[in-house]
Amino acid sequence: MAQNVFAKGSQRKSVSNPSSTVTPAFGITGEVSSALQSLPIIQQSLQDIQHRLNGLDEVRLELQGVKEGLREDLWGDDGLAPKIEYVAQQAEETGQNLETIMKENKSLRQELELLKSVVIRMDRKVSEQEKEITELKGRSMRDNLLIHRFAEKANENLMVEVPIEIKKVYGIDVRFVRIHRMGPMRNGKIPRIIVGKLEKYEMKEDVLQSQRQLRQQQQETPFHVSPQYPSSLVENRKHLSELQKKYTEQKVETKIKGNKLVFKNGNVYKDKVLVPRAEDVLLALDEEKEALGHIEVVTSEEKREKGNRFIANAAEAKTYGDVRKVYKKICSIPIHAQASHRILVYRFTDKDGKLIDGYMDDGEYGAGRNLLKHLEERRLNNVVCVVTRWYGGEHLGGMRFELMKDVATEAAQKLNP
């Protein structure tokens, strides 16, 4: 029984040894071996981490440098902040200056409007004064008589000789208050015109009536007489006579009464195109100015003679409206607005096939009539031409018309090459 017990004890001891001694020792050794094998990898990972940490330090240092650089750029003496502050100050000053400029601009506009009003008022007064001056001239010439083609000789005594010759030719006794020839001495066969102021108005009427009777009898006289009128009235009369002739050809009855052409029904003729007034130019709307700016015109070369300057502008025209627009365009240009004369001449065929022509002297009496005749001779049609003259202080006589024709022809040829 004891052996059995011993045997059982021995058996238990032998059974317990493998599990308590041999097997645990083998497991620990394997784990250590595995850990030792992983150690290089861990070391490599630690080194990588260290490198990365070192890199982060470099990045941190770089960021610190960037931060300091930005701080310097923003807040340094030469940084953005002072510049932004300076720009803000400049903007504020600019705003103040702009406000000042706007106030000054408003003030200038008001002054400009005032000047426009003053100029318009002056232009109206000048027009009224010109009419009054013309009327006064007419009154002062009421008793004047012009004597044409009266033989001129040296040392003549007109106060004595002229009344004697008038008595011989017209049978009328006249007495002059004063009498003289017009203009300086000149070389030529045509004698200078004589102007004389008679003592009485009735004497002038008697001489003129006698001359009319002689003409009706078709009797020739060595000289002839005519009443004296202001140049503007004379030119206006010629213009009205031309118009009356055209209407007569159209079988339209008209009469010249004073300075007006009156139709049978009592209506008074009015020019279709007039010289633009100051108010027409200064008060023109922006839309109209823009439209005038789009009108195409051609310009001649400038001609000069004894301080006088001439230049012509031409454009196409097929209606009175076209003519008015071109005339206003030229008269609105500052250099032309200050000129002495802007002579207008036009010639076109309307939609009904009727030939329309006309002119405006603008104080240069006889110029428009001469230029219109020049256009007719050259058969120029559908054209409007404005000849501008700047007076240079010296009269040119008939030469001025030739110069005007030259520049007008040049401009018209450019328009219709």
pTM of structure: 0.69
Low-confidence ranges of the chain (pLDDT < 50): 1-23, 25-26
CA–CA dist 300, 15 (Å, integer) = 138
CA–CA dist 37, 300 (Å, integer) = 108
Q: What is residue 108's DSSP assignment?
A: H
Q: What is the pLDDT of residue 77?
A: 64
Instruction: Report yes or no: 311 and 388 within 8 Å, Cβ to Cβ.
Output: yes
The helix (run of H) or strand (run of E) holding residue 314 is strand 308-316
Instruction: Report yes or no: 342 and 331 within 8 Å, Cβ to Cβ.
Output: yes
Q: What is the pLDDT of residue 44?
A: 77
Q: What is the pLDDT of residue 35?
A: 63
Nearest to 392 by CA among 338, 317, 323, 340: 340
Q: What is the pLDDT of residue 28?
A: 62
Q: What is the pLDDT of residue 2?
A: 40
Q: What is the pLDDT of residue 111?
A: 86
Q: What is the pLDDT of residue 75?
A: 64
Give 217-253 pLDDT, tens digit per residue. 988 999 999 999 898 888 888 888 988 998 898 888 9
Phi and psi torsions of 384, nearest 5°: -125, 135
Q: What is the pLDDT of residue 237?
A: 87
- Identify the structural domains of the chain with CATH numbers, from first to last: 144-228 (3.30.70), 232-263 (no CATH), 278-415 (3.30.230.30)
Q: What is the pLDDT of residue 235?
A: 87
List Cα–Cα distances, 408 to 182, 317, 341, 387, in angstroms.
Answer: 31, 15, 14, 7
Instruction: Report yes or no: 303 and 406 within 8 Å, Cβ to Cβ.
Output: yes
Nearest to 199 by CA among 227, 225, 229, 176: 176
Q: What is the pLDDT of residue 46?
A: 77
